[in-house]
Amino acid sequence: MRYISLRLWALLAVFGASLLWNCRGKEGPQGPQGPEGPAGQNLTRIQEGYIRGTVKGRDTVQNQNFQLNFDYDYLPVWFGYPGYWHPVPGQPDTIEIGLAREGEKGGSVSITLYHRQSTNTSWVDNFNASVLEISGSAASEYNANYYSAFSADTAYVTNVNLSGDTLITGRLTYIRRTKSIPDTLVADFSSRLLRIIYYQRQVRPSSSISQNHSE
């Protein structure tokens, strides 16, 4: 009997809900359109320079020559500056310069170099490239990492021109000599530069913070 009673209550509840829905009033007129929302954030990507060029060599696995072209002019999110410079500690006539760009669909190149103002000479400290060329449904990629302190490869810059301390142009050449048939990457670059000023704080002596307590 209890089972039948519970079932009956369930049927009555469904019937009551259906009756209320059918007896609802007509919908009122549509209200006026609300005000337009605020404009979205401007997501235009920063350029202010470029790194463009060609890498070519021979793929020893597939036994064929290759050539990839790149033209990067967007500022990577992880870099933060169009380009930067700051004095090298302990070397008053030498500055460090850095710049990086990436492509619209991927790929990036970053360059860090030193420039000695007294002799107007420049040399590469480190260089990183992830060259990506997309053609249809296929993508070709070339990666290179150069660090002057412990690299057997060669990287150098030529035609470096500094317009005051706000603009740099030049050409980078990288030769991967660790392969039996060396690869060569040549890139022209141009970038606006910002000077970075690092601020440091001195830590108070521990004696001014800690105190001895005796009971």
Kindly report the pTM of this predicted structure. 0.71
SS3 state at 58: strand
Give the residue extent of every domain in the chain: 49-195
Say how far residue 116 (Cα) sits from the centre of its chain.
28
Give the Cα separation of 132 and 183 in Å (integer).
Answer: 16
Q: Which of 164, 186, 166 is nearest to 176 (CA)?
A: 186
Q: How far apart are the C-alpha atoms of 175 and 181, rounded to whole Å?
A: 10
Per-residue pLDDT of the chain (215 residues; tens, 9 = 90+): 444 555 555 556 666 666 655 665 566 677 677 676 665 554 556 668 999 999 999 888 888 999 999 999 999 988 888 999 999 999 989 999 999 999 998 999 999 999 999 999 999 999 999 999 988 888 899 999 999 998 999 999 999 999 877 899 999 999 999 888 899 999 999 999 999 988 776 666 554 444 444 33
Distances, alpha carbon 130 to alpha carbons 77, 133, 177, 197, in Å: 16, 10, 18, 29
Phi-psi region of 3 (alpha: psi -120 to 50; beta: other; left: phi over 0): alpha
Alpha-carbon distance of 51 to 123, in angstroms, equals 17
What's the pLDDT at 180?
A: 83
What is the pLDDT, as a whole number, of residue 208?
44
DSSP summary character for residue 54 = E
Tokens of 184: 């060569």
3-class DSSP assignment, residue 96? strand
pLDDT of residue 197: 86
Find tokens 């020893």 and name the residue. 60
DSSP label at residue 74: B
Place of tokens 């209550």: 9
Residue 173 has a pLDDT of 98
The pLDDT of residue 211: 43
